[in-house]
Amino acid sequence: MSEATYTQLLDVTCGGLLFTAVLVLWRKELAVIIRVFAAQGVALAALVGVVAAHERSAELSGVAVGLLVLRAGVLPWLLHRALAKAGPGRRETRPLVNVAASLLAAAVLTLLAYAVSQPLVALAPSPATHAIPVGLTVVLVGFFVLVTRRRALSQLVGFLLMDNGITAIGFLTTAGIGLLVELGVSLDVLLAVLVLQILTTRMRETFGEADLDELRELHD
């Protein structure tokens, strides 16, 4: 793969990451948000795949396939199952900040990510490190979703968005953190989602609601 095509493909996958992060903020239906999250998983796996092809590393290609299965297959499937259990009436997010304002906030977060990551990029300028602001933007947008959404499921998506961003930064800066570490992190995320899913179900059984704002008082 020539250097120019490598840069081009890397940039396109980063654009995909950015675009899907914005879509998560933009859309209200949880089912659509989960589908967008799956698309982001594909973009992330493609990003790692491009890096793997550039480094000619079989290990990294394996990681890319694993990421594809986990982030575009297993996690969205788990989220879909949790959504199906929730029943009608719980299909839309109820953001604390309205959509237009959160989109403008995302614009500010993008600029912040760009400003903050300048010293990091200057350490070792290369096409991969130039894309660090994109990863950081995804992390910040994920954090924003985590903070401003009420439904447990959309907070979960925010958490996973953050994790996608962190993984992207990891691969962009170090070109592979080792198969073992990546496996550990992926298992961790999977476990977190499983635990949170069970927690959501239990919450709904107990309170009939997965709106975390309602949980203000302590009960016996």
Partner 1 sequence: MSALGVVGGVVQPLLVVVGSPLLVGMMRQLRAKLEGRAGPGIGQPWRDLRKLFAKESVAPRGTSEVFRRAPLVLVATTLVVAVVVPFVTTESALDPVADLFAVVALLAAGTVALALAGLDTGTAFGGMGASREMTIIALVEPTLLVAIFALSVPVGSTNLAAIVSSTLHDPARVISPASLLAAVALVVVIVAETGRLPVDNPSTHLELTMVHEAMVLEYAGPDLALVELASAMRLSVFLGLLANLFLPWGIATTANPLAVLGAVVAVAVKVTLLGAALAVGEVFLAKVRLFRVPELLAGSFLLALLAVAASFFLA
Instruction: Please state the closest distance from residue 151 (CB atom) to partner 1, in A.
Output: 19
Binding mask 70-99 for partner 1 (x = CB under 8 A): ----------------------------xx
From 1, 65, 96, 111, residue interacting with partner 1 (rule: CB under 8 A): 111
Nearer to partner 1 (CB atom), residue 36 or residue 210 = 36
104: contact with partner 1 by CB under 8 A:
yes
What is the amino acid identity at position 24?
Answer: V
Place of tokens 């614009």: 107
Nearer to partner 1 (CB atom), residue 2 or residue 208 = 2
What is the widest separation between alpha-carbon atoms in the chain? 64
Nearer to partner 1 (CB atom), residue 131 or residue 189 = 131
22: contact with partner 1 by CB under 8 A:
yes
Nearer to partner 1 (CB atom), residue 107 or residue 181 = 107
Contacts of 70 (CB under 8 A, 6+ apart): 41, 186, 189, 190
Binding mask 125-164 for partner 1 (x = CB under 8 A): -----xx-xx------------------------------
Residue 63 token pair? 């990681």
Give the CB-side neighbour count of residue 69, counting CA atoms within 13 A. Answer: 9
Number of alpha helices (DSSP H) and beta strands (DSSP E) in the chain:
9, 0
14: contact with partner 1 by CB under 8 A:
yes
Distance, in Å, from the CA atom of 215 to the CA atom of 187, rounded to the nearest integer, reads 29
Helices (H), 149-218: 152-174, 179-207
* Closest listed residue to residue 73, CA positions, set 48, 46, 39, 47: 39
Residue 2 token pair? 């020539």
Instruction: Please state the closest distance from residue 83 (CB atom) to partner 1, in A.
Output: 23
Instruction: Please state the closest distance from residue 82 (CB atom) to partner 1, in A.
Output: 26
114: contact with partner 1 by CB under 8 A:
yes
The angle that helices 99-123 and 3-26 make with each other, rounded to 10 degrees, is 150
Where does this chain bind partner 1 (CB under 8 A)? 4, 8, 11-12, 14-16, 18-19, 22, 26, 98-100, 103-104, 106-107, 110-111, 114, 121, 130-131, 133-134
